[in-house]
Amino acid sequence: MKRFSATRLKIVRGAFLALGVTLALAACQGGVSRDGEVRASEPEQKQGPRIEQLRARHAALQRQLSQRAPDGTYIIVDTARNRLYVKRREVVLLTAIASTGSGTILDNPDRPGAQWVFDTPRGEFAIQSKLANPVWVKPDWAFLEEGLDVPTDPLQRLEPGMLGEYALGFGSGYFIHGTLYTRLLGKNVTHGCIRLNDEDLRAVHRLSRIGTPVIIF
Checking if the pLDDT of 159 tops 60, the result is yes
What are the backbone angles phi and psi of residue 11, rounded to the nearest 5°? -65, -45
Element (H, E) at 81: none
What is residue 49's predicted lDDT score, i.e. its pLDDT?
Answer: 76
Among the ranges given (13-17, 51-55, 67-71, 192-196), the one the predictor scored with the smallest mean pLDDT: 13-17
What is residue 92's predicted lDDT score, i.e. its pLDDT?
Answer: 96
Checking if the pLDDT of 43 tops 80, the result is no
Answer positive or negative: Cα dihedral of 148, 154, 159, 165.
positive
Instruction: Give CA 46 to chain center in angstroms.
Output: 40
pTM higher than the cut 0.75: no
Q: Report the relative pairing of strands 115-117 and 158-160 from DSSP bridges.
A: unpaired
Q: pLDDT tens digits, residue range 167-192?
A: 999 999 999 999 999 999 999 999 99
Residues paired with 174 in a beta bridge: 171
